[in-house]
């Protein structure tokens, strides 16, 4: 085995631009989701009426804000992993971030339903 074949195997290739642009669009979707979560965090803290438990509104807002930051970071991390895989002609890595995002959103939805139902009971 000569050294040029080893070097050629490790040199990243310039991928088809369509794959790169598709990866960018996915990255931007993650960032839009993050911005939406940031707006939701501000809305919870600023516009949600005070809840029966003092400070719960702020805890919820901070929780949504943390999800927003984690979503932005996960999007950047995923973009980087996929870009590296595309350029090195490797299989795409598994993504765990959608599971965490879905779990977080489901938890926020469940809390919202509980709060809405408890407000109608009072």
**What is the number of other CB atoms lying within 10 angstroms of the CB of residue 7?**
9
When pLDDT is averaged across residues 14-27 and rounded to a whole number, the result is 94
DSSP letter string over 41-78?
Answer: HHHHHHHSPPPSSTTHHHHHHHHHHHHHHHHHHHHHHH
Look at the pTM and tell me if it is higher than 0.75: yes
Read off the pLDDT of residues 30-83 as tens digits, 9 standing for 90 and up. Answer: 999 999 999 999 999 999 888 888 888 999 999 999 999 999 999 999 999 999
The ranges assigned to domains in the chain are 15-121
């Amino acid at each position: 085995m000569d050294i040029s074949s080893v070097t050629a195997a490790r040199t990243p290739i310039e991928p088809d631009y369509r794959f790169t642009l598709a990866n960018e669009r996915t990255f931007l979707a993650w960032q839009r989701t993050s911005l939406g979560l940031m707006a939701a965090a501000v809305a919870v803290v600023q516009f949600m009426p005070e809840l029966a438990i003092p400070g719960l509104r702020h805890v919820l807002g901070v929780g949504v804000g943390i999800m927003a930051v984690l979503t932005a970071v996960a999007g950047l991390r995923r973009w980087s992993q996929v870009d590296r895989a595309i350029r090195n002609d490797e299989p795409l890595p598994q993504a765990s971030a959608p599971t965490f995002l879905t779990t977080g959103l489901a938890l926020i939805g469940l809390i919202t339903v509980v709060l809405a139902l408890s407000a109608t009971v009072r």
